[in-house]
Structure 1
Amino acid sequence: MTIQQEKNAIPVPQVEPRAPIPRQNLRIPGPTVVPDEVLAEMARPMINHRGPEFAAILRRVTARLQYFFQTRSPVLTYPASGTGGQESAIVNLFSPGDHVVAITIGSFGNRFARIAEAYGLQVSRIEFPWGEGADPDVVESRLKALPPYRGVLVTHNETSTGVTNDIQTLASLIRRHNPDALIAVDAVSSLGCIPLEMDLWDLDVVFTGSQKGWMSPPGVMMIAASERAWEANKRAKLPRFYFDWASSRKKLEVGQHPTTPAVSVFYALDRALELMLEEGREAIFERHRRAGEYVRRRAREMGLELFANPRYASNTVTAVRLPDGFNTKAFMKALREQDGVVLGGGQEHLEGKIFRVGHLGYFREEDLAEAMDKVEQRLRSFGFTGR
């Protein structure tokens, strides 16, 4: 190496050492807790993603996802997050200049709309205050007043506010006014936890992510499309490559992905879906219903105000309002560092004003009880004694 080369060489970086990851009561609304037996699956040897072993895993996972989606359509999987599902839906359904309606009730509904705008779609928003669900009467009135639209983008469960939309009712009224509308549903933090019937409710696109209700790590986005959506896909002109449904479906038929899949996450998802089937779909829904009721009740008993309108309260994530002037950042830091409880914070204009408790995917009732007990104790230590 010359003197000049040595002078210009990139030095070895000085970084903080790796540290053990503590066991925490992880109560954020995703990524969620992964059971030990599912974590253990990811230690299996790496395999050829074009070979028969992965093909068998992909067949099992796809068939079981179809059951939980309640659809006969193929469920495509991608190495991506839930936001990838939003982008995938838009680029596969629409063409530049198409008019779509975005029903927004929070941060992730707004993100769906922004992605559509980024791709050159004409977006009409039907917006509701954060903490409220989409009122079907208001939606119907607004739809009647809008010019013709090609599709509707809507969130089933708004993770940022702890609100669940009545998708069945919304889809029904959309169909009455526009039978050919493409209804794309963000079910990232709902599917697998609370009821959603893709085919029965006549939904065109539904997507979710492995890190939410599926007891698995982040890394796999799952999306299904109706026959109506597949026909639209043939005519859609927006640019796409990574999320091209047609190439994904062709590869799925031979047990492969167009690109390299997240093999280790598939190991986990394969086992997690087995556990979910053992528990049973209705039992999972009931467990989440009880969890939502429990967390909301405990928060009220502490004298805290729930952020979501009770009519639309989510059974996967609860948002709790804190008093004005409360040191939310220090409170959550103390919970994490001293009590081992990790909560979700507020997003955008709700930062510092609410905390969110995730109760989706894998959890035990004692996990929720411990978390809420620690919240109550820590609130007292910060001088909050209820209203």
Structure 2
Amino acid sequence: MIPGPTPVPEKVLQALSKHPIGHRSKEFQDLVESTTKNLRWLHQTHNDVLTITGSGTAAMEAGIINTLSKGDKVICGENGKFGERWVKVAEEFGLEVIKIESEWGTPLNPEKFKKLLEEDKQKEIKAVILTHSETSTGVINDLESISSYIRAHNTALSIVDCVTSLGACNVPVDEWQLDIVASGSQKGYMIPPGLSFVAMSQKAWEATEKSNLPKFYLNLKSYRKSLISNSNPYTPAINLVFALEEALNMMREEGLDNIFLRHKKHKLAVSNAVKALNLKLFADERHLSPSITAIDTGEIDAEEFRKTIKNKFDILLAGGQDHLKGKIFRVGHLGYVNDRDIITVISAIGKTLIDLGKITSKEVGEALVEASKYLE
């Protein structure tokens, strides 16, 4: 029950165990054609969706270095660990970074983006880089509003980390006219780590013609060229592509609306149960991520709490990062997670609180009743 790697369905594990095939074979080309079609469906786009052997960070770095040039001015949204990471990546490549910050646990303010973009009369801002679902704090940012302000600017690109939002909530790439969307296989895709995905708009491809930042393995032009023949410029993780095909087929069978509804009800079940257990939500309740819930333990050591649940119930929860270590724990509920998993983790948290003398069995019962309202 962490935000990645997430549980992997049995069908996907079986696909993963197939014997590898040649990555230049007709069989593999057919596989790439199939998965690419399904990736466009998942991203709700008619544009290119490229598959890279690498993590979500590789996808985000690729989006940055393929469309920008040294000295370009960019806005970076920072309200958690991953927002901080994109600031570091941008600065590492010599970009001029303007930070829009928000306290960890609160969402980025879209109006701050609007103000900076409207004031940029000379169109010096070349991109806006932000995280949609901030995994470190359990907050989801208002990507729809922010992307509308980016479009109004007419020059800046949107470069978006959708690693824990894609496959968990609605990210209509074409409708919102998102330019570069990055995601990773070990989250909502329900397969092991090792693949990442980059959706590219026509505007983003036009920007690649002006980019002068160094790139070789992550040169997206190479991936686009090879995709024409349903191939890959380098040796891909063949067995992960087998797994991807099976996972995407499962997702298509469930349907996008049902996937989004399942994640929403799990978010509501966990967050409302937590309050019934006399714990506090760390994130702004109006902006909770559908993928993960961060819980403030107050005077309880969150690391010891996690350790107890792992030892007693064999359930792994995520800890806090940086200054939040020991202060919060995080319950992941994205990907291959069902109602039983939600009830089980709430029960384990409740029993641990009983053993610590913090609540009684009555509160645990009330928490389970509260969760069940949303699961139904």
TM-score when normalising by structure 1: 0.90
Question: Which residue of 2 is the match for residue 110 of structure 1?
Answer: 84
Q: Which residue of 2 aligns with 1:174?
A: 150
Query: Which residue in the other structure is 1:299 paired with?
Result: 274
Q: Which amino acid aligns with 1:374?
A: A
- Does the residue aligned with 1:32 lie in a helix, a strand or coil? coil
Residue number in structure 2 paired with 1:157? 133
**Given that residues 75 and 98 in structure 2 are in contact (C-alpha distance below 8 angstroms), is that contact kept between their aligned partners in structure 1?**
yes
Match of 2:367 in 1: none
- C-alpha distance in 2 between matches for 1:33 and 1:136: 33
Matches within 5 A, 1:348-367: 348-367=322-341
2:4 counterpart letter in structure 1: G
Of 78, 95, 98, which aligns to 2:69?
95
1:201-247 superposed Cα distances (whole Å, 9 cap, x missing partner): 01110010010001111110010110000000011000000111111
* Residue 283 of structure 1: how far off its partner (Å): 0.4
Report the residue type matching 1:167 in the other structure: L
State the Cα deviation string for residues 75-130 of structure 1 (Å, max 9, x = none): 11111111111111111010111110001111101101110100010011000111
The alpha carbon displacement at 1:167 in A equals 0.7
1:134-172 CA deviation, whole Å, 9 max, x = no partner?
Answer: 122233234445673111001111010111111111111
Task: Tell me the alpha carbon deviations over residues 49-88 of structure 1, each in whole angstroms, 9 at most, x when there is no partner.
Answer: 1111111111111110101111111111111111111111
1:195 aligns with 2:197: no
- TM-score, normalised relative to structure 2: 0.93
Q: Which residue of 2 aligns with 1:16?
A: none
Identity of aligned residues (%): 40
Amino acid at match of 2:219: D
Contact between 2:12 and 2:247, CA under 8 Å: does it hold in 1? Answer: yes
User: Which residue number corresponds to residue 22 of structure 1?
Assistant: none
The DSSP-based 3-state class of the residue aligned with 1:286 is helix
Kindly indicate whether the alpha-carbon contact (under 8 Å) linking 1:132 and 1:163 is maintained by their aligned counterparts in 2.
yes
1:331 and 1:382 in contact (8 A); partners too = no
Partner of 1:62: 36
Work out whether 1:74 is the aligned partner of 2:48: yes
Specify the code of the residue in structure 2 equivalent to 1:236. S
**In 2, distance between residues paired with 1:302 and 1:181?**
45
For residue 4 of structure 1, what is the aligned residue in structure 2? none
| Contact in 2 for aligned 1:126/1:142 (Cα 8 Å) | no
Residue 232 of structure 2 is matched in structure 1 by 257
Structure 2 residue runs without a partner (length 5+): 364-376
CA distance in 2, matches of 1:68, 1:182: 21
CA distance in 2, matches of 1:194, 1:363: 14
The answer to whether the 8 A contact 2:117-2:149 is kept is: no
- Structure 2 counterpart of 1:234, one-letter code: E
Structure 2 distance, partners of 1:340, 1:290, is 24
Counterpart contact for 1:183–1:203, Cα < 8 Å: yes
Deviations 1:165-188 (A, max 9, x none): 111111112222x11111111000
3-state secondary structure, aligned to 2:329: strand
Contact kept, 8 Å, 2:117 with 2:125, in 1: the verdict is no
Q: Deviations over 1:270-297 (max 9, x none)?
A: 0000000000000000001100000001
Could you tell me whether the CA contact under 8 Å between 1:42 and 1:264 is conserved in 2?
yes
Q: Tell me, in whole angstroms, the C-alpha distance in 1 between the residues paired with 2:116 and 2:213.
A: 27
CA distance, structure 2, for counterparts of residue 276 and residue 351 of structure 1: 34
Residue equivalent to 2:313: 339
> Is the 2:303–2:329 Cα contact (8 Å) retained in structure 1?
no
Residue-pair matches, total: 359
1:141 to 115, 128, 131: 115
1:122 matched to 2:96 = yes
Q: CA deviation at 1:300?
A: 0.5
Q: Which runs of no fewer than 5 residues in structure 1 stay unpaired?
A: 1-26
